[in-house]
Amino acid sequence: MEPNIVIVYHLNEDHYVTNGECLEGNEVFHLKEGMNFFDFNHLDNDPETERGYFFEDSTIHEMINEINQEVKKRGSYIANLSSSIHLVPSDQDSGSIKVGLRRVNALSLPDFLMVGPIENLVEKSGQNVRSEWLFDHINDFREKVEYESQFSQFLLYIDDIPKQIPIYIWFADNTHDQVFLRFIIKLLGDKKNNIYLINTTESWSSISNQISVNRINNLNPENLRQIFEANKNSKLLTIEQRKNYEQEWKVISEQGDMLRAWKDKQLHTLPEDYFDMHIIEKINEMHHRQKDKDFIQVGMIIYELLEGIEMNPGADFMEYRIRNLVYMGLLGIKGIPKSMHHYKVKMPS
């Protein structure tokens, strides 16, 4: 970066920033000739408007770190909470819970833990390994710096949770949520807060006497309000349960496989190619419906695959496995595999 450039970020005092927020919230100034940096005041100068700037990842990381250290000193909005905090598996779940419980404070994990490496995920080294794997394998993966900054923001907020407020952890009977539960309990470490577990699958089954719903976002906000009212004081996590969940996190995270499954009330690991035969069988089935065997759009293959399986690893993981079968020479390809909608595949003749 040019030595006479000054970047000014307008600080939102109680929120940690991510990559996107950092880049959108800054202004760039040129130091005037002969001006010393320590004499510079952005209020007395006009920002640069005619030129754009490219920031290297290392520069962005440094900027984000400096800004978030300042937020940490002043105290984030989480650090100043006096009521309660709800920890939930995804942004979509968080939105439903906020509506159902009338705008409670909720934090959601910006990740999907059914797939990819999770060893040492509470440490920076493990987070780096995970982001590299996602960047190398998943086509629709967001920008690497954005993912890392969102994950870091989540960890900072977890660390800021005041010791006196109750913590509610929401989850359902599916793989991601169950890994999330164990990861969160590991992250909470030695925090002495009262921690309440809300299993929406079990609770809704008890309330409604209906077939189990294994995803939080399959319930509407009113359902979630009913679940909270039924559980808000009754599922306090014990010390023994906490130790058991921490041990289960250690076991599942250290096994090294890239795919996990929730089955028979337990977490299991699976080989990365577990779905490959399902993919080949589905493509053969779709070929049989064609008059003449022809290329099939990958998005359509994935749509039919995910309709027919209970254990859903996500469309992006399925696209990765189809792409891998192409690389192995087991599928023919037409198009460029930059997303599931940009190419087609078929079985070799």
Range of the domain at 64: 5-74
Q: Are residues 162 and 231 in the same domain?
A: yes
Q: Are residues 202 and 331 in the same domain?
A: no
Which pLDDT band, with edges at 50, 70 and 90, does 28 fall under?
confident
Pairwise pLDDT comparison (233 vs 204), residue with the higher score: 204
pLDDT tens digits along 235-253: 789 999 999 999 999 999 9
Q: Are residues 261 and 304 in the same domain?
A: no
Q: What is the DSSP letter of 116?
A: S
Q: How would you classify residue 308: left for phi > 0, otherwise alpha for psi between -120 and 50, otherwise beta?
A: alpha
Q: Are residues 164 and 181 in the same domain?
A: yes
Give the mean pLDDT of 63-74.
87
Number of compact structural domains in the chain: 3
Q: Is residue 80 part of a domain?
A: no
Question: Chain-centre distance of CA 349, in angstroms?
Answer: 40
Whether the Cβ atoms of residue 18 and residue 61 lie closer than 8 Å to each other: no
Distance between CA 46 and CA 59 in Å, rounded?
23
Q: Is residue 319 part of a domain?
A: yes
- How is 234-274 classified by DSSP, letter by letter? T-BPPHHHHHHHHHHHHHHHHS--SEEEEETTEEEEE-TTT
Give the mean pLDDT of 199-220.
88
How high is the pLDDT of residue 12? 67
How high is the pLDDT of residue 141? 62
pLDDT tens digits along 255-290: 989 999 999 999 999 999 999 999 999 999 999 999
- Is a pLDDT exceeding 70 seen at residue 2? no
Whether the Cβ atoms of residue 196 and residue 165 lie closer than 8 Å to each other: no
Share of the chain above pLDDT 70, in %: 96
> Could you say which of 267, 298, 323 is where a domain stops?
267
How high is the pLDDT of residue 37? 77
Q: Is residue 149 part of a domain?
A: yes
> Could you say which of 26, 45, 74 is where a domain stops?
74
Q: Are residues 97 and 241 in the same domain?
A: yes
Q: Are residues 94 and 239 in the same domain?
A: yes
Q: Is residue 79 part of a domain?
A: no
Q: Which of 8-22, 126-140, 303-317 has the lowest mean pLDDT?
A: 8-22
Please give the model's pTM, rounded to 2 decimal places: 0.88
* Nearest residue to 47 (alpha-carbon basis) of 63, 26, 67: 26
How high is the pLDDT of residue 186? 96
Which pLDDT band, with edges at 50, 70 and 90, does 58 fall under?
confident
- Is a pLDDT exceeding 70 seen at residue 3? no
- Alpha helix ranges (H) inside 189-340: 200-208, 221-231, 239-254, 276-288, 298-307, 315-327
Q: Are residues 70 and 13 in the same domain?
A: yes
339: CATH: 1.10.10
